[in-house]
Amino acid sequence: MRYDLNLIEQLFREVGFPVHNTDRRVEIDLGLGAILCFQNAEPDEDCLIGFLGMPWHTHDNLMFADGCGNCIELDYLGLIAALKEGRVLICELEAQGQTADRWLIHSKCNDEFGHLVEGERISVRRATIQPADK
């Protein structure tokens, strides 16, 4: 599967998120340093979604699961509305005073809090639409 990067850019702009598009990647500013990237890998047919500078990423559709076996699947275009509406949230892991990882979780289907080790902190927040520069 390949992402339609031009369509991603257009739809994120329509809902108000700042977007930067290169020839191979679209970067969306979700606020407070969270830059979500959509990228098509060359030359194979792989694609990924992840946060700039962070280890977390996913391929193809997003799968959100909880500890009870419930699962919600979103395609990459459905993610846009889910971020805008607050159904998909940004989860950030802080260790030793630094953001160590950042990933997406679903507001109704997640299992993030049982994996913390001493000294780590998880924060969850909605994506933030920044006002456009004038």
Average pLDDT taken over every residue of the chain: 91
Per-residue model confidence as pLDDT tens digits over 20-45: 998 789 999 999 999 999 999 876 67
- State the pLDDT confidence band at 134, using cuts at 50, 70 and 90: very low
Do the domain assignments include residue 132?
no
Cis peptide before 131 (omega within 30 of 0): no
Distance CA 91, CA 104 (A): 6
Whether residue 93 is contained in a domain is answered as: yes
Q: Is there a domain that residue 58 lies in?
A: yes
Flag whether pLDDT at 50 surpasses 70.
Answer: yes
pTM, two decimals, is 0.91
More confident residue, 27 or 60: 27
Cβ-contact 30, 90 below 8 angstroms: yes
Any domain includes 24:
yes
pLDDT score at 22 = 83
User: pLDDT of 68-85, one tens digit each?
Assistant: 999 999 999 999 999 999
Q: How many residues appear in the chain?
A: 134
> How many domains does the chain divide into?
1
The mean-pLDDT minimum among 76-80, 82-86, 100-104, 112-116 falls in: 112-116
Task: Provide, for the chain, the percentages of residues in helix, strand and coil under a 3-state DSSP scheme, each rounded to the nearest 5.
Answer: 15, 40, 45
For residue 115, give the DSSP letter.
G
- In this structure, is residue 117 part of a structural domain? yes
Report the run of H or E that residue 105 belongs to, with start and end.
Answer: strand 98-106
Q: What local confidence, expressed as pLDDT, does residue 100 receive? A: 95
Residue span of the structural domain in which 52 resides: 5-125
Residue with tokens 């997406």: 104
Is residue 13 domain-resident? yes
